[in-house]
Amino acid sequence: MKYFEISDADNKSIRISRIILGGVQFGTTLTREQSFELMDKYIERGGNTFDTARVYCDWLENGHSASERTIGEWIKSRNNRKEIILATKGGHPAAAGVSRLSKEDILGDMDKSLETLQTDYVDLYLLHRDDVNIPVNEIMDTLHILVQQGKARAVGVSNWTCERIKEANAYAMEYDKTKLVISQIQWSLAECFPQNFNDLTLVCMNPKEYRQYVEMGMPVMAYSSQANGLYSKANERGLEYVPSKLQKFLTLENINRYNNLLKLCRKKGYSRTAVALNYIMDNRLNGSAIIGCTNLDQLNDCMMAAEITLTEEEIEMLV
């Protein structure tokens, strides 16, 4: 397995696997037993980091907090809290245009997450969305409270722009508050846009954000790291035969990248999934890939990516 390290608020190391197991389907689409099996196998293959969120599964009947609840039950049954890295998110909007980043919202979400996860702290706590109408100092002051209370070892954000992150950390530096140390946005070999996911509140990797992340040196946890399986689901007949729901990703740029992917896979003898994930993990931008799997075959295919390495030249060949 490949790993990277960040420092928590006490300057202690947090060692994170570059393949992160996403739990968005745990306890709903995947049963409790199936979820436990995937988590066990993931640990067996060298992974150590789990990504969830307070809001995950809330959109399904009887799904409220199912992801956090299932992960919490698994941790308790395996008695392995100190052996894993646990990341969750809060502050997700209640509805379109309805922000939930007040002090009360953030602190309340954290307490509910800890209760559901059956733990007294998380290693990484990220805010699920931004609201640029809220002064960044108010948000950072609240995150600082969570760290001071020992409920989060480190904090980060999801779906924030680099400009907003830099503004937040400038405030933290000036007023001796806890800094943001990690970011989670959409990033994959396929070029994506918020419109592809029918959610304009998302932030997708683009050339401007990429340059700024490299300059900042901030690690990125990439969600939708395989663009909903765009390249892995293409069969022998070609990319145009992917499921209809993925047709929206078929831009000229992504078709070109797919052809580059096939060439490199043939040359190296690697799977499309492994190469696409290594585009993130071996990138000069410090990246890790959140994966979403529904069975052991998919998990094993993803975990194979940790056993290979792409050179800088090969990374550049893909795009």
Domains of the chain: 3-318 (3.20.20.100)
pLDDT > 90? residue 96: no
Q: What is the pTM of this model?
A: 0.95
DSSP string, 240-309: GGS-GGGGGG--HHHHHHHHHHHHHHHHHT--HHHHHHHHHHTSSS-EEEEE--SSHHHHHHHHGGGG--
pLDDT at 253: 96
* Annotated active-site residue in 56, 125, 213, 270: 56
pLDDT > 70? residue 187: yes
Question: Is 121 among the catalytic positions?
Answer: no
Please state, for a pLDDT cut of 90, what percent of the chain lies above it: 86
Burial of 268 (0-12, 13-18, 19+ CB in 10 A): middle
| Whole-number Å distance between alpha carbons of 150 and 103 | 17
pLDDT confidence of 238, banded at 50, 70, 90? confident
* Average pLDDT estimate for 191-206: 94
Q: Express each pLDDT in 261-297 by its tens digit.
A: 999 999 999 999 999 999 999 999 999 999 999 999 9
